[in-house]
Structures are given as C-alpha cells and as structure tokens.
Amino acid sequence: MGILKDCINNKNTNSIPVWFMRQAGRYLPEFRNIRSKNTNFIDLCLNPNLSKEITLQPLKRFKIDAAIIFSDILLIPYALGQKVEFEKNFGPRLGDLNVNDILKVSDDEIKKKLNPVYDLINKTSQDDILKNKDLIGFVGGLWTLLVYMLNKQSPKKGNIDFFSNQNHNILIKKIIHTQKLHIKNQVSKGASVIQIFDSWAGLLNQDKYEDYIYKPTKELVEFIKSLGVEAICFPRNIKSYKEFCQTVKPNAICIDYEVDPIEIAEKIEIPIQGGMNPNFLLLEKNEMLKNARKYLEIFKNHKYIFNLGHGVIPQTNPENVKILVDYVKEFK
Ligand code: CP3
C-alpha cells in the first residue's frame, strides 16, 4: 500500500502520487523488444513471466507510485469465448458475437482462461519493487465492453446506438457477472486499487447514461468497495463528471484532457486523477512542464493524483516521462 491509496483515502502525502495510463507500452524500447518476439498480444498478456516483466518496466525507469497490470480490457470478451485479435496498424478485431454461446461459458472456464492474469498479480504484488507502492488492477466498463463486443473493432467517432431494436439484457447480466468475477480474483491475488476504464463513455447519448453507465458502474463500484479496495473511474469524455460522481460515487475520478480542469476543481470534491493531454509529452521540455504545472496548480487544494487524460502515446520519448515524473515529485 502506497501514497496512491493514501491520497484516494484523503490522507496527506509527502508528495503528489503519479502514475500513467499505458505506462507500460510501445514508447518503451524494452517493451517493443519483448513485443517483437511475441506477435500474439493475447498470448503475451497471458504469459505471467513476461507480463510481470512488462508491468514492472516503467517502475525501473521512473519514480512512479503505482504499477498497473499489463493486461487488456478485451480479455473479458476473450474469456467469454469471443475471438479477439490485435492487428498491426488496425487495433483490436473481434469475432462474431454469439450470445447463446457466451451464456454457456461457466465461471470455472472463465477463471481458467484468465488464471495467468491472477498469477501475474500474485507474482507482481510480492515483488520488492512494489514495497510501499500500489498495484492497480482494472476492468473495462460495461458500455465500452459492449461497444467492442458488438462493433467488433474500435468505434469511429459519432453517436453509437446499438440498442434501439435489440434487447441485450441477458448479455449485459453475463458481462457484469464476469466483470465482478474478474475483479474479485484480481483483488484476492493482490491488486490494491481497481480502475474502471469506460473509454467510450463519450459516444453514448445522455438519455442512455442511466442504463449503460451509471447503474452498471455503480454496481461495480459498490462491489469493489465491498472487497475493501478503492475504485477509480475513468468515464472518458462523459458530459458531466459531476453528475457521474454524484451518482456512481467512486473513490476517485480520472478526467480526460478535453474537460476544463478549473471547472472540475470547482465542482468535484472527491480525489481527482489525470487530465493533461498526452500530446504535451511530445513538446519541448519547458512547454511540457508548463502544462503539468497548470494541472498541479489548479488542483493544489484538492486530493490530486498526477496522470494524463488518456494513455501515453507510442511516439513519446521516455526521457520526457522521466523529466515529468521528477517534476511532479518535487512539486510543493
Ligand atoms: O500500461 C497500462 O496502462 C496497462 C495496460 C493496458 C493495456 N490496455 C495494454 C495494451 C490497459 C490498462 C489497457 C486498457 C484498454 N485496452 C483500454 C482502455 C484504456 C484506453 O486506452 O482507452 C482499451 C480501450 C483497450 C483496448 C485496446 N487494446 C485497444 C483499442 C488497443 C489497440 C490500440 C493501441 O493503443 O495500440 C489495445 C492494444 C494494447 N493494449 C496495447 C497495449 C500496450 C498495444 C499493443 C501493441 O500493439 O503492442
């Protein structure tokens, strides 16, 4: 347990906790090296030795306060028997969705397929490098999982409405059941915080928020709290983070880079995470730090976890990440 958890629990910390979404990824040459020899991404996620090594790679370089498991939100459709592949320069490509087949998949089968993830968590949480630091587990939000499972690839911008004619209630129940199973197993093996990634929240019509975002996410948050750990929610590009927080009641909220941080600081009282545009890491050092300082100043009187408004992008120079982390750690 480290200062990330302290901050989420409203305790004072000696410095501002910092970690990054996609901190383990293609911007690191040591990741690309492993990845080039492991062309099947799912197999790599399900190799506990390699996924542990990748999870810890950023901690060996930077003074960050948490590791996030090297895994993927699409392991849930994979565990439910939907085909999931990652194609170079395309992203995820899923197979046809057969709801009847998915409903037949037992909890034991799911657990067996995802067991390497729990092995990874078990091994990683015991590593000395995580002493006094947190290990973040995660799941995709229901809506984002539905988007991938029904759309079978990353959605194009625009409004998605899959639900005008179809009733997906049984599928939704099965996904929520699987999310809970996956969360429970992650926590029991040593995940100390769970982040819920609802990356495509911004694509949903507001009149559907209650059914596809608020209600299912609240259920997960309550479940996570009942396990004795904290839930960070990232409903990316949602219309109102304030309404989301009031309804879902996460322990902390992660914000995107399009929302105005000043407005967030005025309206939201719970611990806040993230916000800075990942593209700022591509700028000249002083420009990057100027932007980081903006977030640090705005949230000076808040519980704040430094992170970005989305994942680190592959073109990022790791040296800039180091400079940024050192800056945040020294900020008073
Ligand atoms: O370091 C970390 O943040 C932990 C690992 C992590 C990955 N995926 C590894 C990954 C996490 C937390 C995720 C979550 C995830 N996966 C999300 C939610 C967060 C977000 O980015 O919005 C989503 C939508 C996915 C689905 C997914 N996985 C996509 C759309 C892609 C392809 C696009 C891309 O960025 O490459 C992936 C592949 C993926 N997941 C990679 C990594 C490191 C890149 C794999 C590679 O090609 O080497």
Position 157 confidence tier, pLDDT thresholds 50, 70, 90:
low
The whole-number average pLDDT for the span 255-275 is 98
pLDDT tens-digit series, residues 311-324 = 999 999 999 999 99
pLDDT tens-digit series, residues 42-72 = 999 999 999 999 999 999 999 999 999 999 9
Structure tokens at 324: 């940024």
Domains in the chain, number = 1
pLDDT on residue 163: 63
CATH of the domain at 307: 3.20.20.210
pLDDT on residue 2: 95
323 CB-near residues (< 8 Å, 6+ apart) = 285, 288, 289
Beta-carbon count within 10 A of 213 CB:
24
Which among 253, 255, 257, 248 is positioned nearest to 269, based on CA atoms?
253
154 lines ligand 1 (CB under 6 A): yes
Asked if pLDDT for residue 159 goes beyond 70, the answer is no
Report which protein residue has its CA nearest ligand 1's atom 27.
92
110 lines ligand 1 (CB under 6 A): no
124 lines ligand 1 (CB under 6 A): no
Query: 201 lies in which domain range?
Result: 3-330
Q: What is the mean pLDDT of the chain?
A: 96
- Strand order of the β-sheet with 66-68 is 66-68, 134-140, 193-197, 230-234, 252-255, 272-274, 304-305
Report which protein residue has its CA nearest ligand 1's atom 31.
91
81 lines ligand 1 (CB under 6 A): no
Between the alpha carbon of residue 181 and those of residues 118, 188, 330, the distances in Å are 12, 11, 39
Q: What percent of the chain has pLDDT over 90?
A: 93
The whole-number average pLDDT for the span 175-197 is 98
Report which protein residue has its CA nearest ligand 1's atom 8.
72
- 88 CA distance to ligand 1 middle (Å): 13
CA distance 82 to 102: 8
pLDDT on residue 164: 52
pLDDT on residue 138: 98
With H, G, I as helix, E, B as strand and everything else as coil, classify residue 306.
strand
234 CB-near residues (< 8 Å, 6+ apart) = 21, 195, 196, 197, 198, 199, 253, 254, 256, 274
DSSP 12-70: --SS--B--TT-SSTTSHHHHHHHHH---HHHHHT-HHHHHHHHHHHHHHS--SEEE-S
pLDDT tens-digit series, residues 280-302 = 999 999 999 999 999 999 999 99
pLDDT on residue 89: 87
CA distance 246 to 205: 19
pLDDT on residue 161: 58
What's the burial of 123, exposed, middle or buried (CB within 10 Å: 0-12/13-18/19+)? Answer: middle
Tracing tokens 């968590």 back to the chain, one arrives at 121
| Helices 142-151 & 215-226 angle (0-180, nearest 10) | 120
Position with higher pLDDT, 180 vs 1: 180
